[in-house]
A and B are shown apart, each in its own frame.
Chain A
Amino acid sequence: MLTTRRKIRTDLSSMLVRTVGYSFIGLFSLCCLLPFLLIVGTSLTSEGSIARSGFNFWPREFSSFAYRIVFENPDLIIGSYWVTIGITLAGTAAGLFLVAMTGYALQRPDFQYRNGISFLIYFTTLFSGGLVPFYLLITQYLNLRDNYLAVLLPGLMTPFLIIMMKSFVRSIPHAITESAKIDGAGDFTIFIRLILPMTTPALATIGLFIAIGYWNEWYHSMLFLSPDMKYRPLQLFLYTVITSADFIKNSAAASNVELRDLPLESMKMATAVVATGPVILFYPFVQRYFIKGITVGAVKG
């Protein structure tokens, strides 16, 4: 009698937890997805329907006019794509190499200066000069205004990524380095020939963190790349489409559409879809690398 009652109670409580679990997690995931559908839906809605009934998930009056306008003058958006792809590829390749090399050297127990250098890097997370001196450095001393390097260089590495690399390298036994040294290999050769091939999962993770940073970069672009530049990174292009009235006027003139006929709202959304869509499709395949990085880098121990 007693055992059956307890069994029923157990079932009840785990059923409760599971019901709450499935509904809560399900609802929350839905909330994470719906805003994206809202943007896609609005981008495919006619401007008149938006004026009457606002933004909606499902277009009440289907129209691909916004996309036609966006693609009528694809020059700017294609240019932005190339700029972003270029910065992302170059920055990720260079950044990944440097982060890996630094992380490995700083993890070598026989490297005498590693505590000093680690502190030099780590201290930058504790104290910083702030935005104004940084801005003056880039624009007046390095003369990088309107230069893609102003976006590429500051994103190359972060203390967080170097620490993440160190944690990854720590799992490789030091004996491997030592035996290679006995065989006469130099430190740089050991890094290139032995360590890099052994840390490919780590490199994928760190590389993706750097790449997503460059792809979503808009802050340094906004600070340092003026509208005088024809092609600016994708996110800044999107920002301009969303916020700048001038841009809208120009594109009306360019596509021979009267300003009042221009689908202002759906155009913003269509640009967002074109600028973001490809990456979101890519994302489920690389997600697991991020998860690995977060669990290794965030809480050690």
Chain B
Amino acid sequence: MSTTIATEKAVYTGLAKPRSRLRTLRSNKTLLFMCMPAILFFLIFAYLPMPGLYLAFIKYNYTDGIFKSTFVHWDNFRFLVMTGDLWRLTYNTIAYNLGFILIGNALQILVAILLNELRLKWFKKLTQTLMFLPYFISFVLIGLIAYNILSYDYGLLNGILKSLGADPVKTYSNPHIWPLIIIITYLWQSTGYGSIIYFAAIMGLDSEIVEAAEIDGANALQRIRYIVLPWLKPTFIILLLFSLGSVLRGNFGLFYNLVGANNTSLYATTDIIETYVFRSLLNNFNFSMGSAVSLYQSVFGFFVIISANWLVKKLSPDNSLF
């Protein structure tokens, strides 16, 4: 997520004298050795599994292993399209991510701007710490917190509803309310963390501009509307495009711990690519179907990122990834 790669190329163009390959290797020997653990790490844990996507084109069965299982061409993909699974997973993953990105960024900007207007130092510090807190806990605990609030028998929500004389809600079997639950949980967890970037951007705003505007008679709302918001616009666009790049990557921990491992009644609105692949691996042992979905996700996602980066490059070359 940085400009590193792009800018470095421009800064350094190589030594003046042409060198032979061997001499280059020799003079870079130590630095190359220093990178070796990282190179090995990514080769083993990221590159070595990639050829495994071949599983997507076979009908894998455990006894025959990868190489003797039948090659079935595009049958797995055809199956995923025909059952409607692929469409549902794509729709859910993208729709949730768009919700996270748009509502999330709006809320983060709002929090950052309001924080900046506060004057009481202790209040600012305390609230920042509290808002940051949910980012530090594991998804397991987040799942437990959700259960505390949503449980049909004991949950806080139904406790409040009952004391108001209303009927309790069967949260864990009603798929329609889950988009709301998941988005609220996401916002709860990530707003404090995300607002830091915007807050830091506001800190970078030249105080002379703000003072000049105040002397000219701009009030607080006008200051926010005409100075702070336009100032945040580039940050917003860049963050937006970055997150759009990974719009096909789901947040497995969030969905899995909120919904539970086997709650089939909620799949219609809560099943995303990651949870589907996870189930196909551990519950159905359908390795081929899981790999087919992963391959689809990686290829489709790759083109989304390339397009997002192309857009960033057009708008602000300094921020492009490559």
Contacts and interface: CB of A to CB of B under 8 A. Distances in A.
Interface stretch (A28-36, A85-93, A198-206, A252-260): A28-36
Contact of B129 (A12, A105, A187, A287): A287
Contacts of B127: 25-26, 28-29
A146 B126 CA distance: 42
Contacts of A215: 138
B148 A55 contact: yes
Contacts of A238: 138, 140-141, 144
B55 A132 contact: yes
Interface string B251-275: 0110000001100000000000010
Nearest to A282: B136
Contacts of A164: 2
A118 B15 CA distance: 19
Nearest to A117: B35
B290 A21 contact: no
A17 B28 contact: no
A298 B197 contact: yes
A135 interface: yes
Interface string B121-152: 00100110111111011111101110111010
B140 A20 contact: no
Contact of B53 (A117, A130, A162): A130
Nearest to A11: B219
Interface stretch (A64-72, A74-82, A264-272): A264-272
B224 A32 contact: no
A198 B308 CA distance: 36
B169 interface: no
**Main SS class of interface, A:** helix
B50 interface: yes
Given A28-B191, A279-B136, A283-B133, A130 B291 contact: yes
B45 A134 contact: yes
A268 B31 contact: no
A156 B301 CA distance: 25
Interface in B7-40: 8-9, 11-12, 14-15, 24, 27-28, 30-35, 37-39
A231 interface: no
Contacts of A268: 144
Nearest to A223: B282
B48 interface: yes
A136 interface: yes
Contact of B134 (A32, A38, A298): A32
Given A128-B50, A135-B281, A300-B2, A55 B154 contact: yes
B217 interface: yes
Interface string A117-141: 1111110101111111111110001
Nearest to A124: B46
Nearest to B2: A300
A294 interface: yes
Contacts of A21: 114-115, 117-118
* Interface footprint category on B: 35 or more
Contacts of A22: 118, 120, 123
A132 B287 contact: yes
A109 B10 CA distance: 11
A115 B52 contact: no
A131 B144 contact: no
Nearest to B246: A125
Nearest to B28: A112
Nearest to A239: B140
A25 B114 contact: yes
A216 B138 contact: yes
Contact of B290 (A109, A114, A130): A130
B283 interface: no
A101 interface: yes
Contacts of B253: 218-219
A16 B220 contact: yes
A24 interface: yes
Interface stretch (B67-75, B81-89, B95-103, B155-163): B155-163
A130 B117 contact: no
Nearest to A106: B35
Contacts of A14: 117, 219-220
Contacts of B193: 294
Contacts of B196: 291, 294-295
A171 interface: no
Nearest to B11: A109
B212 interface: no
A106 B111 CA distance: 36
A53 B163 CA distance: 10
A294 B193 CA distance: 8
A117 to B, nearest CB: 5
Interface in A199-243: 212, 215-219, 223, 235-236, 238-239, 242-243
A156 B28 CA distance: 25
A38 to B, nearest CB: 5
Given A38-B148, A127-B302, A157-B38, A132 B322 contact: no
15 contacts: A54-B156, A54-B159, A55-B149, A101-B37, A113-B31, A119-B5, A120-B42, A121-B42, A134-B45, A154-B45, A160-B1, A163-B2, A188-B30, A287-B132, A297-B1
Given A280-B133, A287-B129, 10 more contacts: A13-B222, A17-B114, A21-B117, A38-B148, A54-B156, A130-B52, A134-B49, A134-B52, A187-B31, A300-B2
**The 5 A-B residue pairs with the shortest CB-CB distance in the complex, in nearest-first order:** A133-B52, A130-B294, A129-B49, A133-B49, A14-B220
